[in-house]
Each structure stands twice: as C-alpha cells, then as structure tokens.
Structure 1
Amino acid sequence: MKILGPDLEFPHPNTADAHGLLAIGGDLSVERLMLAYRSGIFPWYSDGDPICWWSPDPRMVFDLKSQKPMKISKSLRQSRRNKRYHIKENTCFEDVMRACMNAKRGLHEGTWINEEMITAYTALHKLGMAKSIEVFENDRLVGGLYGIDLKTQKNFCGESMFSHKTDASKIALWYLVEKLAKDDYNLIDAQLYNDHLASLGAMEIDRKVFLSYL
C-alpha cells in the first residue's frame, strides 16, 4: 500500500491488497480524482480519516453490451408507468449528493459521503465530469443517483443513489442504463458487490477485465 504525496500519481491497481486498498493520502483535487477514475481507482473513507483509494478485485458492473443489462421487474415497470415520476438530468447535483449522504444504508453503500467529498464532486460537476439523474414527484426530489462520466472510455462510474419514494432510485438507474446503452457505453461501474445491485442485474468481473475497458 502506497502513501501518496503531492505528486499526481497512483500505483498500478494490481498492487492493491486483498481488500482492494491501493493507497492512502493525497487530495480530492479535480486532477487527482479524474486520474483515479480513468485508472480504475476510487476514493472511499470515513469522515476524519485519511483519504483511502481502492481498486477491488472483482469489480461490480452493469454490462451495457448485454441483451438485458438491468433486471426490470413487473412491479418496477408498473411504478415507472403509474407513479407520475418525472426524470431530469443535472438540475440539482449537490442536492442529490446530500440526499445520498443522509440516506440510511449498509456498508459500502454511500455512508462515507462527507462535506469534503461534496465540495470535490460538485467541482467535477461544474466541469461536466460528474453527472446526476434526478427523479421528481411534482416538484419534490424523491430519488436519484450520481457518478463520474468517462465519455472517452464509454464508462460511467456510479457512486451512490437514494430513494424517498417507492422505486425512485431504481427508476433513475433504469433511465441511466437506457441512456448510456443508446450512447454505446460499455459499463456502469458499481464498484463493490452488494445484494441489492445483484438483484438489479449487476455482476462481478475480474479487475483485469474491468481495467481493459479503461
């Protein structure tokens, strides 16, 4: 595990430990964050701790080149048709991040978001690198997600999502899957395995395979 200094660099992801921890330290500058994501690395750490950088093996992804990149249940189809939700893009990025930060979740699912992260990712959003999908009921934000858009590599790095109403976050993800598949993207990076993502169609692939898409 490498201790990062001021130089803008990361060790190769293959040097990560068994848990996926690659390096500690550095900063959350726009330049370092984009180098990280383009290298298959992401930050995840508890508030007050040093910044930790990860590249796990295996990697959880939605394969946008498959015939069914996301599992769409009958009830989810009914929700999208009947709930009167409407979907927007990039109209309230910081609100989405804060909703994700405040959502009650399990381990690896977003509880690590803090003010430092919000500042850093909002800066990325202003540069067009971080994106949000937002689900509204009337004028109220009830669900959504955000992540890093690697346009050149045709990959989207999903960070977190939230839901205040039935199926709102799933509908945001479904919208994103459809949009990215239409734009010929390869993957949505979901980072780490959890049962919820698996139930929606995400799967694990070897880190070596994941890095090949970058």
Structure 2
Amino acid sequence: MIPFTPEKVVWAYSMGIFPMYVEEEKAILWFRPERRAIIPLDGFHISRSLAKTIRKGRFEVRINTAFEEVMRGCADRPEGTWITEEFIQVYTELHRRGLAHSVETWREGRLVGGTYGVALGGAFMAESMFHRETDASKVALAALVQRLKERNFVLLDVQYLTPHLQRLGAIEIPHQVYLQRLQKALELPCQFI
C-alpha cells in the first residue's frame, strides 16, 4: 500500500498514477486508468455564452489566494466526495511547497468557483472544480488553460472523461500515450507562479 503523503502524491503523478478516496473501501486508492482524459491546451472549447461571460468580466480571477477554500468548495457535493480531510491536508501541504495551485473566481468579494491541481514540470494535474454561480468554474478553467499556455505547459490532465469536460474539449488517450506525453512534460522547466 502506497502511503498518502505529499512526497508519494508527487511520485505517483510522475508515474501516471493518481489518488482517490473510495467510500466502499474506506481507503485512499491509487488509479492508473487504461484511458486518460486530457484537455489539449489548443483544443479547449469556449462556447459563445462563456466567451461573453469572460468578456463582461463578471468574475474576478485570482490565483492561489484561497487554496484550501477551493478544495472545500470542490468537496461540498450533495452526492458525496472523494476529497477527504486527509486529502485537504496533503494537498494544502503541496500548496505550501509551491506545487499545488488554485485558480479562483470571485464576485463581490465572495469565492464563487474555482479549480485546483498540481503542477510538475510542464504538466498540470487538475483535480476538481466547483461553482456556486453559473459559469464560475468554467471561467476558472478557462483562466487555468490561458495561464498554462502563457507559461509553456504542454499537458493538462483531467483524469477521467465526463460529458461536461468533453464539451470543453477534453479527449481520452491511451495510457501509454499519456505516459509519453507526461515524461516529456516533466522535463520542462515551467513555473506556474
């Protein structure tokens, strides 16, 4: 069993593995799916309505000002969550070490959406996102993609393909292809901040 520590999370990501709490097992398990979902940075799809929301500046975008709050927002789901207190502690420590980051959307001084993940080399492993207002998480994701492009990142990992992510441009690739892209990305000297 791989221990759940910041060091092991970094090691796992660099090997194409990610952690997730599984309620049935009452444990954090490690996953390496045969097909991996990514968002090609040049393939991110912004709908007309989302582009309009971004142009209007309805949300203020901030980086790393409320990391733990973003995680808690992502964990606050009526259907339950895999983001346990242990996850929050480990990823907050990764944030303190400069490896985990949040992109947040704010309106009228309130956090209304965001996404978070871990940056290693030129790869960003997005973990989750949330919204309290329509389009708040999509604006955060659009800002994340823009930042990654500006800083020469080459891989945005979103783990599993969902219909929502597919509408935003996510695709699935075989695990071996993912590993090749990951290894190239890890060699890059990119800085998220």
Both structures adopt the same fold (TM-score exceeding 0.5): yes
- Which stretches in structure 1 are left out of the alignment for 5+ residues? 5-25
Query: Does the alignment pair 1:58 with 2:28?
Result: no
CA separation in 2, counterparts of 1:195 and 1:28? 30
Counterpart of 1:70 in structure 2 is 44
Quote the residue 1:15 is aligned against. none
| Residue aligning to 1:133 | 103
The offset of 1:77, in angstroms, is: 1.0
CA displacement, residues 98-138 of structure 1 (integer Å, 9 cap, x when unaligned): 00000346xxxx82111010011001000001000010002
Which of structures 1 and 2 has the bigger CA Rg? 1
Matched, 1:173 2:141: yes
Q: How does 1:32-181 map to 2 (within 5 A)?
A: 32-47=8-23, 49-64=26-41, 66=42, 69-82=43-56, 84-104=58-78, 111-150=81-120, 152=121, 154-181=122-149
Contact 2:115 2:140 (8 Å CA) reproduced: yes
State, as a whole percentage, how many aligned pairs show the same letter. Answer: 43
Q: TM-score, normalised by structure 2?
A: 0.89
C-alpha spacing 1:104/1:177, structure 2 compared with 1 (3 Å): farther
Q: Is the 8 A contact 2:21 2:84 kept in 1?
A: no
- Secondary structure of the 1:173 match is helix
Q: Secondary structure of 2:138's match?
A: helix
C-alpha separation in 2, matches of 1:102 and 1:127: 25
Quote the residue 1:9 is aligned against: none
Amino acid at match of 1:27: P
| d(CA) in 1 for partners of 2:4, 2:152 | 29
**SS of 2:165's equivalent?**
helix
Alignment root-mean-square deviation, CA? 1.4
Residue 83 of structure 1, CA deviation: 5.2
Gaps of 5+ in 2: 184-193
CA distance, structure 1, for counterparts of residue 13 and residue 31 of structure 2 = 10
Q: CA deviation at 1:78?
A: 1.2
Q: Is the 8 A contact 1:44 1:53 kept in 2?
A: yes
- Corresponding residue SS for 1:70: coil
Letter in 2 for 1:197: L
The offset of 1:82, in angstroms, is: 2.5
Alpha-carbon distance in 1 for matches of 2:137, 2:77: 12
Q: CA deviation at 1:211?
A: 0.4
Distance 2:162 2:149 in 1: 23
Residue type of the alignment partner of 1:44: M
Which amino acid in structure 2 is aligned with residue 211 of structure 1?
L
Distance 2:70 2:20 in 1: 18
Q: Which has the higher contact order (CA 8 A, sep 6+)?
A: 2
In 2, distance between residues paired with 1:63 and 1:33?
23
Aligned amino acid, residue 100 of structure 1: C
The 2-side partners of 1:145 and 1:102 are apart by 13
Query: Which residue in the other structure is 2:186 paired with?
Result: none
